């Protein structure tokens, strides 16, 4: 492993990076990355993959804020301040993710969206007996989740007409269910 370049050389590399020298970023990354990796690995005893991710995040941040570096100032404190913030933000992100994860060996079976007390006919079967206008309104309201106002706009009707069609459709479906000796929940 080659010894790190002198601090003055790092400062000059950063100044060249700011001036869009195409060779400066690679030289700076090559010179500082081993030390930054050690910084990440020893601070929180993290895995190599986590440290690599933080290193990449640090270099992305440095690239975004390179204009804030003041030439003539030491570059190492500036770089390590950015690396430290990346490490803290990474720690917080990991904690947020872990707080919302649920460890389980087997995924639970999904519950039915609603429990039926009786074997009711399917929605399609219920609305099939309705006239087209009523079927359209009930489908938009119940299956589509639209509001009365939205259904009125979609069907070019008034809200009152939509309410009337829905009421008549519900009465007709209720009658059909009662005739088949199904109880409404």
Tell me the domains of the chain and their CATH numbers: 7-100 (1.10.1740.10), 123-179 (1.10.10.10)
Which one is predicted more confidently, 173 or 42? 173
Tell me the pLDDT tens digit for each residue of 56-83. Answer: 999 999 999 999 999 888 888 899 999 9
Closest CA to 33 of 52, 14, 11: 52
Q: What's the whole-model pTM score? A: 0.52
Closest CA to 142 of 119, 168, 170: 170
With vertex at residue 58, the alpha carbon angle to CA 56 and CA 60, rounded to the nearest 5 degrees, is 70
| Whole-number Å distance between alpha carbons of 77 and 68 | 13
Tell me the pLDDT tens digit for each residue of 20-61. Answer: 999 999 999 999 999 898 888 876 667 888 889 999 999 999
Quote the pLDDT of residue 185: 47
Q: How confident is the model at residue 144 (pLDDT cuts 50, 70, 90)?
A: confident
Distance of CA 10 to the CA centre of its chain: 38
Q: How confident is the model at residue 118 (pLDDT cuts 50, 70, 90)?
A: low
The region of weakest confidence among 68-72, 101-105, 116-120, 143-147 is: 116-120
Closest CA to 7 of 79, 76, 63, 80: 76
| Whole-number Å distance between alpha carbons of 183 and 174 | 9
Closest CA to 83 of 124, 113, 51: 51
Whether the CB-CB separation of 31 and 10 falls below 8 Å is answered with: yes
């Amino acid at each position: 492993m080659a010894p790190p370049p002198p601090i003055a050389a790092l400062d000059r590399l950063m100044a060249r990076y700011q001036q869009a020298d195409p060779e400066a970023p690679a030289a700076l990354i090559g010179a500082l990355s081993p030390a930054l990796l050690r910084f990440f690995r020893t601070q929180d005893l993290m895995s190599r993959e986590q440290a690599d991710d933080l290193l990449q995040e640090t270099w992305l941040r440095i690239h975004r804020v390179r204009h804030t570096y003041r030439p003539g100032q030491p570059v190492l404190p500036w770089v390590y301040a950015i690396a430290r913030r990346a490490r803290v933000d990474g720690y917080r992100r990991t904690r947020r993710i872990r707080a919302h994860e649920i460890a389980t060996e087997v995924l639970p079976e999904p519950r039915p969206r609603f429990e039926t007390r009786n074997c009711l006919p399917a929605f399609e079967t219920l609305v099939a007996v309705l006239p087209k206008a009523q079927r359209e309104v009930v489908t938009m309201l119940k299956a589509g989740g639209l509001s009365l106002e939205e259904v009125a706009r979609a069907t070019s009707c008034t809200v009152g007409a939509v309410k009337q069609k829905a009421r008549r459709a519900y009465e007709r479906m209720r009658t059909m269910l009662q005739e088949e000796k199904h109880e409404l929940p």
